[in-house]
Amino acid sequence: MYQPDLSPVADSLALSSLIAVLPLLTLFVLLGGLRMKAHWAGLAALAVAVVLAVTAYGMPADLALLSASEGAAFGLFPIMWIVVTAIWVYQLTVVSGRFEDLRRAFGLISADPRVQAIIIAFCFGGLLEALAGFGAPVAITGVMLMGLGFAPVRAAVTVLVANTAPVAFGAIATPIITAGNLTKIPYTEIGAYVGHQTPLVAFFVPLLLVALVDGRRGVRQTWPVALVCGAVFGLAQFVSATYLSVELTDIIASLAALAAVVLFLRLWRPQGGEEARADLQKAAETEQGDGSAGQPSKPGGGDLPVAQSATRNGQDGSAVTGTLPMPGAAQRIEGPRILMAFLPYLIIIGVFSLAKLWTPLKEFLAASDVKFGWPGLDGEVLTAAGKASATTVYTFPWLSSPGTLLLLSGVVIAAVYRVTPAAAAREFTATLHKLRWALLTVAAVLALAYVMNLSGQTITIGTWIAGAGTAFAFLSPVLGWLGTAVTGSDTSANALFATLQQTAANKAGLDPTLLVAANTSGGVVGKMISPQNLTIAATAVGLIGRESQLFRAAIKWSLMLLLALCVLVYLQSNVLAWMLP
């Protein structure tokens, strides 16, 4: 049986960490520096990780390759299964012609694109993160912003930055519940601590969004509504995580923020909305003119952005093919058409709420999961502590997966919208085709994560960082950021580092719950630069192969928010301890 050695290089933890970080450096240098396409960067980093696992860590080659295969399988199902079905559901709204009504319905709240970015990317995206997570919010809100006239790059970066504050409590607080299960610290306690950290991120994110959409002018003209949205979202997170329900935190926060924005806009309206929209339209036309939208990528048309590629039905039932119209003086809609426009998302909320919150159904779905030891790997790998690795047991959540729940929701939506089975199947096939490179990228990145985890490379890096003693409180969020950046999942980051955070805290005389919560909070700002999320965003808006461009645009915001969290956690470990529950 293989047991990782944390210091395989010259019996030095520091040197071993420098070697172990090479796959991550390979990934980020190729992606951000050399602008290599994400799937090639992921495969190259995977190759480096496998070589190091065999040569530096002494892991048998067959076990290293089997680890990669399990990670790839996990990346495809359930992760990319969620993304495929999420984009397919969106496509159903396009082919039915109802997306136009949804665009106009959001326009009833505000025609200002900066406010629409807050409402869709932050509030609505937060609600989707609360229910589904795993990339679905980025996929759906990205194509929605595209349909509203945003240029592809701006739409993608906006939704990536927006998909931060809700992540810790995403998928009905799965990251926090996972941390609790691993550390045996009550997850409600961890959630309360996180609720005293992520509201800081939430408060500033809407301001960042309006800055991304319209620069300094956008901040100057819309800061009141941005601050109201961020403050209400953060306050609702704080109250719900501390006193109400960890599982429902993001649902409560997203709905409260949306309600606050709607009410505030009845009292105050920002200036400059028309100028901002005109500039957005010019930017979109410029991107399409210089080819930066990533199309076409093959003779005869190539891969168009998902939001623009479908054949849709007009209100008169006739087929309309081509791009969605740029928003202008939107036709007003009322009553039943507004309800029908929002119906897909009401159905999704209903299905996920039943599946996650109704105990009998939740238990039935959980019991349907198929779990089995990965052939040739299970029972052959130990953790660094000498215990059997639980990572080698693969779970196939064929019925309980958010992707399957989205598929069921899509079937209902297709029936209500009278999309024929043939048309729905055609859109599903087209979605799979558009996502083919994204499927490869995510499979490669998750394979990389599994190889690094099972060979001991990840725990080597984490243990070395944990050796900073009391200063580890400052570095603690970095581990969560790193884990989420690599795996694309705050849940996976907690699976990697939650126990390490607990152990390091005990050795350094720090509060274990604080550092486990810091791991979760650090992960929320790492998600925007994870290759998995970058690929999902790029694919959704038609920037396939341009992930490096998005990485360079998002990395500065990720690092800025990470620094803020590091300072906050360090202060909470001493002078601001009174802030903690």
Span 176-199, pLDDT tens digits: 887 887 788 898 999 999 999 999
Residues forming a β-bridge with 395: 371
Give residue 423's pLDDT. 95
Task: Say how far apart CA 349 and CA 365 lie, in whole Å.
Answer: 17
Residues 6+ apart with CB under 8 A from 137: 125, 126, 128, 129, 159, 162, 163, 166
**Helix, strand, coil shares of the chain as percentages rounded to 5?**
75, 5, 25
pLDDT at 293 over 50: no
Residue at 542: amino acid letter: G
- The pair of structure tokens assigned to 99 is 């997306």
Give residue 307's pLDDT. 39
| Cα separations in angstroms, 160 against 125, 235, 551, 562 | 10, 22, 10, 15
Task: Say how far apart CA 97 and CA 329 lie, in whole Å.
Answer: 18
pLDDT at 203 over 80: yes
Residue 317 buriedness (CB in 10 A; 0-12 / 13-18 / 19+): exposed
Task: Say how far apart CA 435 and CA 54 lie, in whole Å.
Answer: 32
DSSP 131-154: HT-TTHHHHHHHHHHHHTT--HHH
Give residue 132's pLDDT. 66
Task: Say how far apart CA 305 and CA 545 lie, in whole Å.
Answer: 12
Q: Which residue has the tokens 């005293």?
A: 196
Q: Helices (DSSP H) in 307-372: which residue ranges?
A: 336-357, 359-367
Give residue 288's pLDDT. 62
Q: Which residue has the tokens 């990670």?
A: 71
| Cα separations in angstroms, 388 against 141, 356, 446, 453, 578 | 40, 30, 21, 13, 39
- The pair of structure tokens assigned to 485 is 């950046």
Quote the pTM value. 0.74
pLDDT at 517 over 90: yes
| Cα separations in angstroms, 120 against 98, 135, 146, 179, 229 | 16, 15, 11, 29, 12
- The pair of structure tokens assigned to 458 is 């990840």
Give residue 242's pLDDT. 93
Lowest model confidence (mean pLDDT) among 367-376, 391-400, 529-538: 529-538
Q: Which long-range contacts (CB under 8 A, 24 or more apart) does 273-276 make?
A: 273/110, 273/111, 273/112, 273/113, 273/114, 273/115, 275/217, 276/112, 276/113, 276/114, 276/213, 276/214, 276/217, 276/218
Span 71-92, pLDDT tens digits: 899 888 887 787 788 778 878 9
* Contact status, residue 209 vs residue 118, Cβ threshold 8 Å: yes
Task: Provide the pLDDT confidence category of residue 221 given band limits of 50, 70 and 90.
Answer: very high
Task: Say how far apart CA 476 and CA 521 lie, in whole Å.
Answer: 10
pLDDT at 312 over 70: no
Q: Helices (DSSP H) in 240-308: which residue ranges?
A: 249-267, 273-290
Taking CA 167 as the corner, what is the angle to CA 161 and CA 169, rounded to the nearest 5 degrees? 150
Average pLDDT, the chain: 84
pLDDT at 415 over 90: yes
Task: Provide the pLDDT confidence category of residue 478 given band limits of 50, 70 and 90.
Answer: very high
Peptide bond into 325 cis (omega under 30): no
Taking CA 66 as the corner, what is the angle to CA 61 and CA 71, rounded to the nearest 5 degrees? 130
